[in-house]
Amino acid sequence: MNEHTGKLRTKRCVVLRFLKFPPNQNKTSEEILHHLQNIVDFGKHVMKQFFGENYVHHGEIIQLPLDFVRQLCLKIQPERPESRCDKDMDTLSGYAMCLPNLTRLQTYRFVEHRPILCIEIKPKCGFIPFSSHVSQEIKHKVCRYCMHQHLKVANGKWKRPSKYCPLDLFSGNKQRMHFALKSLLQEAQNNLKIFKNGELIYGCKDDQDCVSDWNELAHQLKPFFFPSNGLVSGPHCTRTIIKELIHVITMTLLSSTDACRAGDMKTVPISQGRSYCEASAFNKELVRNGKHKLESSGLPRGCLLYKALQAQMLDMLDIEGLYPLYSRVEQYLEEFPEERSTLQIDGPYNEAFYEKLLDLSTEDDGTVAFALTKVQQYRIAMTAKDCSIMIALSPCLQDECSEQRPVVLTSKSRFTFSVSVLDLDLKPYDSIPHQYKLDGKIVNYYLKNVQAKDDPVMSSLFKENEDCTLVLHKV
Ligand SMILES: O=P(O)(O)O[C@@H]1[C@@H](OP(=O)(O)O)[C@H](OP(=O)(O)O)[C@H](O)[C@H](OP(=O)(O)O)[C@H]1OP(=O)(O)O
Ligand SMILES: Nc1ncnc2c1ncn2[C@@H]1O[C@H](COP(=O)(O)OP(=O)(O)OP(=O)(O)O)[C@@H](O)[C@H]1O
């Protein structure tokens, strides 16, 4: 306690976020400050509107002593995964963003000494494009994540494909959600991380180092789920704890932390698009068992998954419909480069920017204004497709849980929790051509290497080709 002011000195636990750039890309301190201000404004004026006040923590800009920043950089450098070292942390400006530590409960402002479990999920795109601009039928059947898996494995980004399908997680159907979460626990890739008291205990530290030992995970989680009884260890214990974990994640993901209650079940209006992906292992299993209809219970309106999906669906035209509109804007900018700032391509991300995003019409009147609105909506959608969800859980006793604090129950324990969203930096305008090319690569790879083998007709053609090659070799 401070004798003079009477203020209680409580330690805040914060996260510092610095900008990073490719080496030799020198930026002035003013440019860095401007960039950071854009990130904060975008969170504050745009993403809070889409995701809701409670889920987004936009942070604030702070200035730090340069000596401290340099020492910090030296300290963290050995911890950075090699694959991320193509960029250097900015140590020259002294500016950084100060954010709450989202691995901790957001209902408490200050450091608590109670145990905290945190689950980070990067759910990726939860819908199948419904746009008439899509040129390949497969895009209306198989989701981008499932198609992309094959290219990622072929490129060596991951060793094995994951059975996770975002459409199962976003379905709102508990069975499908359980399957999706179990699949994430089997192959975490960069879609799942678990922290205990702020330390990573499960998931990938870097691309090479993936831990997926369920026995070890269950051992770490046992005090949270079975605090008092001595649940015997072994496969049964592991299974029970993993099941409880999946249950807790599902319930928190379906919760609406505005109202602290999962009421008001209304489905996301995906009127044209299909609500399941043909490549999902859950779907395939159903088809194998003679069932052909996948349940999609719909997400409660207030939950974070629902909000994320709504923002993702601002991509109404698909990259194939969007790319010509991007070219229209580009052509205009080539003629009038000075218009780039008036059009707010790189900010400022203020009220006016947000207001323009609300025009959902898809009737192209041939104007640059229409093209620009669609481009900006697409950038928001891309951001929402790449964001992460943080669920922080802390055990609580029955008498500690009040109306204001959301609570989730398991068979032997209860948790207060908070749900937040992170990594909400607006995707750059200039990344659109890359998105267009990548989309083509993903689809072509899938058609050539996966669908051709799955499809019985194509498969026999494929086999014939292989036979043919053998014959030729013999000759
Ligand atoms: O294109 P995707 O779907 O592969 O997403 C990229 C992510 O790969 P993922 O598929 O999640 O393994 C990718 O994740 P990693 O860095 O590979 O973990 C990035 O998030 C990338 O965003 P940015 O270009 O760094 O702003 C992401 O790029 P954007 O497409 O969101 O720009
Ligand atoms: N506020 C936060 N609280 C706790 N952990 C955080 C917070 N912000 C980020 N992290 C952790 O750091 C990781 C990287 O964050 P983020 O993706 O925002 O960084 P980035 O600057 O975009 O870096 P990269 O380009 O490597 O993705 C997150 O996946 C999360 O595990």
pLDDT digits (tens, 9 = 90+) for 159-208: 999 999 999 999 999 999 999 999 999 999 999 999 999 899 999 877 65
d(CA 401, CA 234): 32
318: left (phi over 0), alpha (psi -120 to 50) or beta: left
Distance 15 CA to ligand 2 centre (A): 9
> pLDDT 10s per residue in the chain (475 long)?
444 444 444 567 899 999 999 998 889 999 999 999 999 999 999 999 999 988 999 999 999 999 999 999 999 999 898 888 999 999 999 999 999 998 887 655 544 567 899 999 999 999 999 999 999 999 999 999 999 999 999 999 999 999 999 999 999 999 999 999 999 999 999 999 999 998 999 998 776 567 779 999 999 999 999 887 666 667 788 999 999 999 999 999 999 875 433 233 333 444 556 789 999 999 988 888 877 666 666 899 899 999 999 999 999 999 999 999 999 999 999 999 999 999 999 999 999 999 999 999 999 999 999 999 999 999 999 999 999 999 999 998 776 656 667 899 988 899 999 999 999 999 999 999 999 999 999 999 999 999 877 765 544 544 444 333 333 333 3
Question: For ligand 2, what atom is nearest to the CA of residue 388?
Answer: 29
Identify the burial level of 175 via C-beta atoms within 10 angstroms of its C-beta, where 0-12 means exposed, 13-18 middle and 19 or more buried: middle
Tracing tokens 């008439």 back to the chain, one arrives at 132
Pocket of ligand 1 (CB under 6 A): 190, 382, 386, 427, 431, 438
| Distance (Å) from CA 387 to ligand 2 centroid | 10
Nearest by Cα to 311 from 60, 44, 126: 126
At 364, list the tokens.
């192209």
Q: 386, 387, 422: which to mutate for ligand 1, most atoms within 8 A of CB?
A: 386
ipTM for the complex shown: 0.97
Tell me how far the alpha carbon of residue 170 lies from the centroid of ligand 2, in angstroms.
Answer: 22
Residue nearest to atom 27 of ligand 1 (CA): 386
**Ligand 1 centroid – CA 168 distance (Å):** 20
Nearest residue by C-alpha to atom 18 in ligand 2: 423
Angstrom CA distances, 350 to 47, 62, 138, 329, 466, stand at: 11, 20, 38, 21, 59
Residue 195 CA: nearest ligand 2 atom is: 31
Q: Which ligand is nearest to the CA of 36?
A: 2
Which tokens sit at 27? 């930026």
Q: Which phi and psi (to 5°) does residue 121 adopt?
A: -125, 130
- State the Cα–Cα distance between residues 9 and 1, nearest whole angstrom: 6
- Kindly list the structural domains of the chain, giving each domain's residue range(s) and its CATH number in brackets, ordered by start: 11-100 (3.30.200.110), 117-454 (no CATH)
Query: Residue 362 Cα, ligand 1 centroid: separation in angstroms?
Result: 27
**Which tokens go with 176?**
């499908």
In this structure, the residues whose C-beta lies within 6 A of any atom of ligand 2 are 15, 84, 99, 101-103, 120, 193, 388, 422-423
Q: How far is the CA of 385 from the centre of ligand 1 (A)?
A: 9
Atom number in ligand 2 closest to CA 20: 21
> Encoding tokens for residue 344?
């707010």
Residue owning the nearest CA to atom 22 of ligand 2: 423
pTM summary value: 0.91
Cα 10 to ligand 2 centre (Å): 25
* Nearest ligand for residue 57 CA: 2
* Ligand at shortest distance from the CA of 147: 1
Question: So what's the pLDDT on residue 259?
Answer: 42
Cα–ligand 2 centroid distance for 147 (angstroms): 26
